[in-house]
Amino acid sequence: MSPIRYLLDEHVDPALRTQLIRREPDLVVWMIGDPGAPKRGTPDPEILLWCEANGFLLVTANRRSMPAHLRAHLAAGRHVPGILVLNPGMTIGATIDELLLIWGASEAEEYRDLLLYLPLTS
């Protein structure tokens, strides 16, 4: 079983990472543009390949095109550790709580090839 690691897309507020790590220092949270992560401006299909190769769940605000990118990725016989789509109606505090709950209560394999919209809990 693998621990959950998050890759935040470049359109996610960096404060999300700061607050996640402040609350849970053992959590691995990278952002697009970090050393070792995809560069800013990397096309979504390449980000999915990177997530697959490196075992990171993608946290994105991209509700419009990410579902289609995931379908194409899976149709090509590829896999992805998972995609969590942020809810613009959630506060940053609620989003942090949700991501910490997911991290603390589940294993990365549970999200394989899934695209899920936050909140998972209600």
Burial class (CB in 10 A: 0-12, 13-18, 19+), 26: exposed
d(CA 34, CA 45): 18
pTM value is 0.95
Give me the domains of the chain, ranges plus CATH numbers.
Answer: 5-117 (3.40.50)
In this predicted structure, the answer to whether residue 1 has a pLDDT above a threshold of 70 is no
Per-residue pLDDT reduced to its tens digit, 4-29: 999 999 999 999 999 999 999 999 99
Q: How many CB atoms lie within 10 A of CB 97?
A: 15
Per-residue pLDDT reduced to its tens digit, 94-119: 999 999 999 999 998 999 999 999 99
User: Are 19 and 28 in contact, with CB atoms under 8 Å apart?
Assistant: no
User: 28 - beta bridge partners?
Assistant: 5
Supply the pLDDT for residue 2: 72
d(CA 34, CA 2): 22
